Amino acid sequence: MSKEKLSVVKIGGNVIENKEALETFLEHFSNLEGKKILVHGGGKRATHIASKLGIESNMVNGRRITDADTLEVITMVYGGLVNKNIVAKLQGLNIDAIGLTGADINSIKSEKRPVKDIDYGFVGDVKKVNYQSINKLISADFTPVFCAITHDQNGQLLNTNADTIASELAIGLSKLYHVELFYCFEKNGVLMSVDDDSSVIDYMDSGTYEVLKYDGVFHDGMIPKLENCYHALELGVSRVFIGNPSIINNKDQKFTTLYL
């Protein structure tokens, strides 16, 4: 018996920060057929709010150091301001969305990242997705909207990479569904040249990815995203697409399809 289709869609921060781009994306998302999950971050908004509160944002290699004050801001911004605005806009588009952190219904458990060369603070690495619990919501025709916060099941919230959350949700739910994973951001796909928006790589298998990574084609932020993509494909996700928000219901344009 074939599995029912489920789409897991992660939306990038530059789209979230642009009111018109976000509204266009949410219209595309609302028109996406079948069961679906949305995952978002909100790092730029968190940095802006933290600055207003006099809290300095510290980044190392593009990753946020999350001390106790920063975690409070992230919880307010990701789990409150950004998440609830998205949920409200989806309700306006007749999508019965429900906003979640990984702590809600014990959906995503993480462990605090161990200190090696850098102490990232309250940052979590995903260890378990309770896909059966999440599926209760999906089966009841709710659309989960996850922000980039998980928990350690001992009362501690943890800041967690949104790309990773998307891939881990996709992997977990692939045990029940035929899962397609979409990473939507402001570009048209993975680019051969970061300065040329038309240089989209249409198809890329894992071998090609390793060669291009060795050749220095990808900028630092794209590499962890692609690592998450191939990790998902290796562990049961059917297909992964990267491109601008319209790819989720318009396959006639340029975008990148990844496969093993």
76 in a domain, yes or no? yes
81-86 CB contacts, 8 Å cutoff, 24+ apart: 81/42, 81/45, 81/49, 82/16, 82/40, 82/42, 82/45, 82/147, 83/40, 83/42, 83/145, 83/147, 86/22, 86/26, 86/38, 86/40, 86/145
pLDDT at position 251 is: 66
Assigned domain for 20 exists: no
Q: Which helix (H) or strand (E) holds 242?
A: strand 239-243
Q: What is the pLDDT along the chain (260 residues), one digit of tens a residue?
A: 789 999 999 999 899 999 999 999 999 999 999 999 999 999 999 999 999 999 999 988 778 999 999 999 999 999 999 999 999 999 999 999 999 999 999 999 999 999 999 999 999 999 999 999 999 999 999 999 999 999 999 999 999 999 999 999 999 999 999 999 999 999 999 999 988 999 999 999 999 999 999 999 998 789 999 999 999 999 999 999 999 999 998 766 789 999 99
Q: How many domains does the chain have?
A: 1
Which residue segment(s) compose the domain that 142 sits in?
Answer: 36-157
At position 179, the amino acid (one-letter code) is V
Q: pTM here? A: 0.96
Query: What CATH number should be reported for the domain holding residue 143?
Result: 3.40.1160.10
28 within some domain? no
Is 6 within a domain?
no
What pLDDT does residue 62 have?
Answer: 73
Q: Is residue 216 part of a domain?
A: no
Q: Is 97 within the bounds of a domain?
A: yes
Q: 116 Cβ partners below 8 Å, 6+ apart?
A: none
